[in-house]
Amino acid sequence: MTFARPDHTSDLDTLPRMPVWVTSARAETLEDVAFLSGAALNHLHLVLGRAEVPQALLRDRLALRAAEACVAFSGRPERAAELRDAVHLLRPGDLPGPAGEICLAWGRAVERPVSVKALGRAFPTLAPGQIAAWLDAGQGAPVTRAAMVLEAVLTEAPRAEVAALILADVALTQALGWEYVVPLLAAGLKRADLRMQGEELRLSCHRALLSSAIEAVRQASDLARRAAHLKAVAPKLRAKGAGNAVEMFLTRDAVAPSALPLPDRAARRLCDRLVALGAVRELTGRDSFRLYGV
């Protein structure tokens, strides 16, 4: 068998692409799917080690994708646009609502290095001992460990799907030696998969990780190009505080002008300037209450 070499096509596309034999393979048995998911995770591991990937931004965008999946599992209609609104347009004293709470939980889970204490911000109603006990339920190889944690949480607390999926990703993160949670499982699983156990659940987790790792690599490549462009145009920005604003765009999925470290009018002008330069996008399509992102 001949393996294709990673494709390095241009200075702005330097990340190695996922091999075609991973993305195009069709596997059914646990052994075959496990082999492919392992190859995909290994490739993602290499990509995550690249300096040009905006790590925090990638995690935040994957967290939004995971939150969207969890909201769909709960039967609610909100999707990415509504979740962004629920989180980024909150005013002091406002409640984010059930869907917003899910999105906030995922966002908090990925923003700090993995620890039981840090996870307490994502799960304020869970005792640290409970979080640790569920994580300890996972043993063995990375994907098996994640599946065991997922099964343990849902067996004990069938309605705690968000906590189960976040902690399963935490278990995977710890097994792979990553410092931060990279949301992968939720977006690749189906609602029916959460009722599975044992080998069936492991097979579903392998399939989920195969598809999600492929998507994460694609997003990493896209965000690396976009981040490089934003950094290239940053010297053209003369507004005071523009440097800090650029850093916010490089770490967050979406930013409201009111969150930028500039006066309101200057913040809106900066966002319009960045859109004109092709460095950020307006994400809502609205004339007011706009959100921007790389």
Mean predicted confidence (pLDDT) in 216-227: 98
**Is pTM, for the whole model, over 0.75?**
yes
Which residues touch 84 (CB under 8 Å, ≥6 apart)? 64, 253, 254, 283, 284, 291
Burial of 119 (0-12, 13-18, 19+ CB in 10 A): buried
Pick from 258, 263, 244, 266: nearest CA to 292:
258
Which residues touch 30 (CB under 8 Å, ≥6 apart)? 199, 202, 203, 206
SS3 state of residue 293: strand
Alpha carbon of 238 to those of 229, 243, 246: distances in Å? 17, 9, 12
Pick from 37, 56, 67: nearest CA to 113:
56
Query: Does residue 128 have a pLDDT over 70?
Result: yes
What is the spatial distance between Cα 83 and Cα 67, in angstroms, rounded to a whole number? 8
DSSP code, position 16:
P
Please provide residue 10's backbone torsions phi and psi, each rounded to the nearest 5 degrees. -160, 170
SS3 state of residue 281: strand
Share of the chain above pLDDT 90, in %: 91
Q: What is the largest CA-CA distance in the chain?
A: 60
CA dihedral 73, 76, 81, 85 (to 10 degrees): -120
Query: Does residue 5 have a pLDDT over 60?
Result: no
Query: Does residue 9 have a pLDDT over 70?
Result: no
- Give the pLDDT confidence score for residue 13 in this predicted structure: 60
Could you tell me the residue ranges of all domains in the chain? Answer: 29-222, 237-293
In 10 A of CB 290, how many CB atoms? Answer: 19
Query: Does residue 233 have a pLDDT over 70?
Result: yes
The CATH number of 237-293 is: 1.10.10
Q: How confident is the model at residue 254 (pLDDT cuts 50, 70, 90)?
A: very high
Q: How far apart are the first and last CA of the chain?
A: 39
Share of the chain above pLDDT 70, in %: 96
Which residues touch 258 (CB under 8 Å, ≥6 apart)? 264, 267
SS3 state of residue 255: strand
What is the spatial distance between Cα 245 and Cα 59, in angstroms, rounded to a whole number? 19
